[in-house]
Amino acid sequence: MNSLSLERELFGRRFQNPLLLAAGTAGFGRELNGVLRLDRLGGIITKAVSLQPRHGNAPPRVAEFTGGMLNSIGLANPGVESVRREALPWLSTHLTRAHILVNVVGFTVEEYAEVVRRLDGAPRITGFELNLSCPNTSAGGIEFGADSGCVQRIVAACRQRTKLPIVAKLSPLLPDIGGMAVVARDAGADAVSAVNTIPGILYGNTGEARLGHGSGGVSATQPASSLEDRTGEEPEM
């Protein structure tokens, strides 16, 4: 590899460059086909895949402000069986050099593991990214990623279902994100993804939240202190 090469090695695999599209930014790849050459990427991380289909949050789901956007998609996806039957075969035929990682969500520990089990062995999947910011329905809605015991159990359960690389996607709100990364590593994760979006809310001129769900995740291109909403308001985070 010469000094100008962008090639990287990760998980013992060769990536032609370090550019991977983050989960949710490109759907399942088909959405950006014709907009960019997907196979020139290092890889694509699919949008979230859950055990059952999800319709997602009420619209509007996206609100822009100067320097960024707020989104609250609600993990909308067609469910694992549809993804295995339709989305992944399309990706595997259109990405011959770029890697495919599947973002996995669940609302119980068992759901994470079951999604991984059903997709393990699908053609051309390089690994799984576990979205640990999902609400734990068995524990009153607290995020899985906020509890070290939950993180340990999810990663360990998924590790039992696959030999493929596992990436733990962590929340930016953790008081000790480094410590949680160690928990994920010790449970069997090969890497961590840092981080999910920062929670925030935008209000319109009428005083109502601009997203149907109310709050959402802030994606910004400028420091939060310099952001000003187009209505003259800053996102509350």
Higher pLDDT, 223 or 100: 100
Domain coordinates in residue numbering, the chain: 13-56+74-198
Which of 100, 119, 134, 227 is an active site residue?
134
| Token pair for 31 | 């959405």
Give the pLDDT band (50/70/90) at residue 227. Answer: very low
44 touches 125 (CB < 8 A): no
pLDDT digits 0-9 by tens, 23-51: 988 899 999 988 999 999 999 999 999 99
Question: Rounded to an integer, what distance in angstroms lies between the CA atom of residue 75 and that of residue 69?
Answer: 17
| Token pair for 87 | 């989305």
Looking at this protein, which amino acid is placed at residue 31?
Answer: E
Fold of 13-56+74-198: TIM Barrel (3.20.20)
| Token pair for 168 | 């733990």
Question: Is there a catalytic annotation at residue 134?
Answer: yes
pLDDT digits 0-9 by tens, 121-144: 999 999 999 999 876 656 655 788
* pLDDT above 70 as % of the chain: 88
Compute the residue count for the chain: 237
When the pLDDT of each residue in the chain is averaged and rounded to a whole number, the result is 89
Question: Rounded to an integer, what distance in angstroms lies between the CA atom of residue 202 and that of residue 218?
Answer: 10
